[in-house]
Amino acid sequence: MPAPGELTFAVPRGAKKPPRHLADLSPAERREAVAALGEKPFRAKQLSQHYFARFADDPAAWTDIPAAARGRLAEDLLPELMTVVRHASCDDGDTRKTLWKLFDGTLVESVLMRYPDRVTMCISSQAGCGMNCPFCATGQAGLDRNLSTAEIVHQIVAGMRSLRDGEVPGSAGSADAARLSNIVFMGMGEPLANYKRVVGAIRRLTDPEPDGLGLSQRGITVSTVGLVPAMYRFADEGFKCRLAVSLHAPDDELRDTLVPVNTRWKVREVLDAAWHYAEVSGRRISIEYALIRDVNDQAWRADRLGRLLKNHRVHVNLIPLNPTPGSKWTASRPEDERAFVAALEAHGVPVTVRDTRGQEIDGACGQLAAAER
């Protein structure tokens, strides 16, 4: 029996490990690593300042560190983790998707979305995904490997640097709106199946500068298919992050097919774990529900969902299905979507329909990487 919260999803054998990076390490581990190179421990703080506060991973810019030491420190602690394959923009430049190539050639995606009052970044936690949801492009390709903590963090560091340098001006173009405040783990991968590295990444994102990026936990959303033991373990971390649960069906019969891990943890158990998280964190649970025409969008399913959710600390996010290439499924008819919303509202359950940013740049999970392959 695995310990509670230990997951047994296999990572493909033979996967090489990404190089160790400053962002993989806690502040104490950084001091040890620097000392092991024969450098003064305070260099760890200087490096952290360069990376987390200035996004400067080019050693030429580290003028407070002797030139002779820079190369050694850079090689050991700030190796290149990923390179841009390409960017794709739409929505008047307010949405920019980036396809990254990692050290071993695997591909992952991140998306930056500018809104008038905030910037949200959608990041990947795994290369590929092992959850096999049939409507999701990433699910079709399977799992390549887990991302390291630093590979997760670096997507955000790169996004913040692009914003700072004015590379993503957006339609608004104002500097005020250029601050990254929201991070969603809704790119490739199942974050709770890469538990330790995702938790490490949340610490790096939220530790104050220069130990980390100084972002607010409240602006971070972790989205899960419903890995129940890991949801309880995540509640124990004491974060104030938002938890999103990809439900997609209120009944086990349909959910077994749309979110195959449901054959292991049922709707009831997933929701109980979600309510536990809401209680411990004080945050409303976000329920994700992709509306798929004539599959999960019937009025009776909306009513059943409303009954399951009412009187809980919850908000429903309806996502019009973004069809993956070759899929037999498509988004719901507008009248069915309206009826679905009305049925939830009749139970007093707050609901919004997600705006569909980035459709013309293959915005749905995994589509950019799938096109590249």
**CA-based radius of gyration for the chain:** 21
Other C-beta atoms closer than 10 Å to the C-beta of 225 total 27
Tracing tokens 């092992």 back to the chain, one arrives at: 130
Question: Maximum distance among all alpha carbons in the chain?
Answer: 69
Q: List active site positions.
A: 109, 365
Which residue from 120, 146, 223, 286 is in contact with ligand SAH, where contact means CB under 6 A?
223
Q: How far is CA 265 from CA 121, 191, 272, 309, 337, in A?
A: 29, 17, 11, 18, 28
CA 143 – CA 7 distance, rounded (Å): 15
Segment 160-199, which members bind ligand SAH (CB under 6 A)?
186, 190
CA 102 – CA 99 distance, rounded (Å): 10
Which residue from 44, 136, 270, 285 is in contact with ligand SAH, where contact means CB under 6 A?
136
CB 341 within 8 A of CB 335: no
Q: Is 90 annotated as a binding residue?
A: no
Which residue from 249, 314, 364, 369 is in contact with ligand SAH, where contact means CB under 6 A?
364
Segment 303-332, which members bind ligand SAH (CB under 6 A)?
319, 321-322, 324
365 binding ligand SAH? (CB under 6 A):
yes
Residue 154, φ and ψ in degrees, nearest 5: -65, -30
Pairing of strands 180-185, 220-224: parallel
Select 180 or 247, whichever has its Cβ closest to ligand SAH. Answer: 247
Select 111 or 153, whichever has its Cβ closest to ligand SAH. Answer: 111
110 binding ligand SAH? (CB under 6 A):
no
By CB under 6 A, the count of residues binding ligand SAH is 19
297 binding ligand SAH? (CB under 6 A):
no
In angstroms, give the least distance from the CB of 53 to ligand SAH. 29
- DSSP, collapsed to helix, strand or coil, labels residue 251 as coil
Q: Is 189 annotated as a binding residue?
A: yes
Q: Is 246 annotated as a binding residue?
A: yes
Select 364 or 369, whichever has its Cβ closest to ligand SAH. Answer: 364
Binding residues for [4Fe-4S] cluster: 129, 133, 136
